[in-house]
């Protein structure tokens, strides 16, 4: 039963990945996120190779995958703007605010999203929630601040775990569970202001513009 559910979820990821191809803008730099849903998207990109002069990627993982398929990947410092950014999410709410960072790429994802005109979120139906916070909220921190930031997250009522992981930026990740996030923008601003926090995995101030949701009834588009 469990493996059947996994197969279905993977099929939904492939379907939303395919639907996102239509959002890629001809001749403009494409922003590429990180995760298993984005991996499906990258694998389809050779079908529209001639539309994509170059990409900017949000992780070493996606960069390797793109380069292996022959795509040019630019450093963000070579680029002024990106047309469309395609990325997944761990949770997305009705206002298109997201929790991201399950794959540990939250900081670069937020940076790439910040210069992108359009953020297209690709997700299977399990990611759509009414209130963010069931998925543990990732917070990337400078390693020496991990204990201090953990203590501050605990004052918000979270149970916090240090992930056994080093980010592409050489930093650590705290996963904060048990938060019911009613005001995602305010919480994003608050946590981002703490000393030692690199990025909180709340994407509320710059949320998604389009959601392509893979469901049992097909891909649903929300704009």
Interface with ligand 5RP (CB under 6 A): 33-37, 87-90, 100-106, 109
Nearest distance, CB of residue 98 and ligand 5RP, angstroms: 8
Q: Has 35 been labeled as part of a binding site?
A: yes
Matching residue, tokens 């040019």: 72
- Residue 71 vs 109, nearer CB to ligand 5RP: 109
Q: Has 180 been labeled as part of a binding site?
A: no
Q: Has 196 been labeled as part of a binding site?
A: no
- Residue 25 vs 168, nearer CB to ligand 5RP: 168
Nearest distance, CB of residue 196 and ligand 5RP, angstroms: 20
C-alpha 83/C-alpha 44 separation (Å) is 18
Q: Has 37 been labeled as part of a binding site?
A: yes
C-alpha 57/C-alpha 109 separation (Å) is 8
C-alpha 190/C-alpha 223 separation (Å) is 28
Nearest distance, CB of residue 36 and ligand 5RP, angstroms: 3
Q: Are residues 53 and 59 in contact, defined by beta-carbon separation less than 8 angstroms?
A: no
- Residue 59 vs 187, nearer CB to ligand 5RP: 59
Selecting among 60, 67, 91, 109, the annotated active-site residue is 109
The contacts of residue 199 (CB under 8 Å, 6+ apart) are: 101, 106, 107, 110, 139, 140, 192
Is 217 a residue of the active site? Answer: no
How far from 116 is each of 15, 79, 110, CA to CA, in Å? Answer: 23, 11, 10
- Active-site annotation, residues: 109
Binding site feature residues: 34-37, 87-90, 100-103, 127
Binding site feature residues for substrate: 34-37, 87-90, 100-103, 127
């Amino acid at each position: 039963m469990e493996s059947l559910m996994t197969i279905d979820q993977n099929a939904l990821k492939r379907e939303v990945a395919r639907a996102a191809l239509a959002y890629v803008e001809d001749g403009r730099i494409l922003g590429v996120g990180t995760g298993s849903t984005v991996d499906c998207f990258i694998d389809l990109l050779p079908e529209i190779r001639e539309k994509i002069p170059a990409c900017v990627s949000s992780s070493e993982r996606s960069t390797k995958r793109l380069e292996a398929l022959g795509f040019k990947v630019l450093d963000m410092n070579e680029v002024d703007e990106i047309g469309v950014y395609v990325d997944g999410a761990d949770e997305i709410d009705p206002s298109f605010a997201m929790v991201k960072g399950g794959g540990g790429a939250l900081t670069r994802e937020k940076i790439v999203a910040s210069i992108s005109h359009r953020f297209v979120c690709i997700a299977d139906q399990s990611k759509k929630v009414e209130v963010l916070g069931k998925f543990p909220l990732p917070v990337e921190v400078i390693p020496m601040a991990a204990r201090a930031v953990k203590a501050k997250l605990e004052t918000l009522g979270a149970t916090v775990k240090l992930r056994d992981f080093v980010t592409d930026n050489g930093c650590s990740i705290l996963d904060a569970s048990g938060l019911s996030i009613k005001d995602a923008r305010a919480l994003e601003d608050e946590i981002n202001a703490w000393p030692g926090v690199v990025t909180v995995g709340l994407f509320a101030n710059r949320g998604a513009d389009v959601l392509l949701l893979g469901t049992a009834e097909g891909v649903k588009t929300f704009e």
